[in-house]
């Protein structure tokens, strides 16, 4: 199976999952009444267990977050107001 998937038929912004290339992203996490905003860069990738994923490397720690494109995302928005391509809101 290929490591990276080409999604050239999808636009680079405004659709899920994002198109090919690296995208700046903010991930908003809410848990137990607290909110945290994490920034990083993400690419569409393929994981043998999860399928197509959006792989985000966090700027603050270098940790990697995988979001399976087949799972729900509570809110997926433009991140232009935060200076990035996408804002992903997870509750």
Which pLDDT does position 11 carry in this prediction?
A: 34
Q: Domains in the chain, ordered, with CATH?
A: 23-90 (2.30.30)
Q: Which residues of the chain have pLDDT under 70?
A: 1-17, 72-75
pTM above 0.75, yes or no: no
Q: CB atoms < 10 A from the CB of 89, how many?
A: 16
């Amino acid at each position: 199976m290929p490591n990276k998937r080409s999604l050239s038929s999808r636009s680079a912004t405004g659709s899920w999952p994002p198109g090919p290339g690296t995208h700046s992203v903010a991930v908003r996490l809410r848990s137990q009444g607290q909110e945290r905003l994490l920034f990083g860069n993400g690419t569409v990738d393929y994981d043998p267990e999860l399928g197509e994923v959006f792989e985000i490397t966090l700027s603050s720690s270098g940790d990697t977050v995988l979001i399976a494109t087949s799972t729900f995302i509570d809110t997926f928005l433009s991140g232009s107001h935060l200076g990035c391509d996408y804002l992903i809101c997870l509750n």
